[in-house]
């Protein structure tokens, strides 16, 4: 069965600093991988997805993520964080031939210092 681990429950970075949010997954084959962002009181918004091909994927709002099969990781990065990036971030994994079901990580809450 698939599983997703986000090791960091809460991260604080200064505005303008770089950001990396970690995501590790467990799945026997090539997974489908997603990052979502959730602002307070809102639903989840898709940041980016990896299905196949180029392992570095670009998303919205200046985010990118890199799929590393050898490390079973799909870390989210942003070179310069803005105060509006403060939110909760979820990594999710889907499996081939299991419909659209996703398994979500526990989430990482990002705070941004002025």
What are the residues whose beta carbons fall under 8 Å from the beta carbon of 43, sequence distance 6 or more?
none
Contact 92, 77 (CB under 8 A): no
| Residue 101 makes contact with other proteins by CB under 8 A | yes
Check binding of 102 to other proteins (CB under 8 A). yes
Interacting stretch for other proteins, rule CB under 8 A, among 16-24, 68-76, 78-86, 103-111?
A: 103-111
Beta strand residue intervals within 1-114, DSSP E: 3-5, 10-14, 19-21, 24-26, 32-38, 44-50, 56-58, 64-68, 73-78, 87-94, 102-104, 108-113
For other proteins, which is the closer residue by CB, 81 or 102?
Answer: 102
Reference 59, options 37, 31, 82; nearest CA is: 37
Comparing CB distances to other proteins, the nearer of 12 and 45 is 45
Per-residue tokens: 26: 């467990």
Least Å from the CB of residue 70 to other proteins:
22
Mark 4-33 with x for binding to other proteins (rule: CB under 8 A) and - for no binding.
--x--x----------------------x-
Binding residues for other proteins, rule: CB under 8 A, are: 6, 9, 32, 34, 36, 41-46, 49, 51, 90, 94-107
């Amino acid at each position: 069965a698939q599983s997703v681990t986000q090791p960091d429950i809460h991260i604080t970075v200064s505005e303008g600093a770089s950001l990396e949010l970690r995501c590790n997954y467990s799945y026997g084959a090539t997974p489908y991988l997603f990052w979502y962002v959730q602002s307070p009181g809102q639903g989840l918004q898709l940041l980016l997805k990896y299905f196949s091909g180029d392992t570095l994927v670009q998303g919205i709002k200046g985010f990118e993520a890199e799929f590393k099969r050898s490390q079973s990781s799909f870390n989210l990065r942003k070179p310069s964080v803005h105060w509006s990036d403060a939110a909760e971030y979820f990594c999710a994994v889907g499996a081939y031939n299991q419909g659209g079901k996703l398994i979500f990580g526990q989430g990482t809450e990002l705070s941004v210092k002025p």
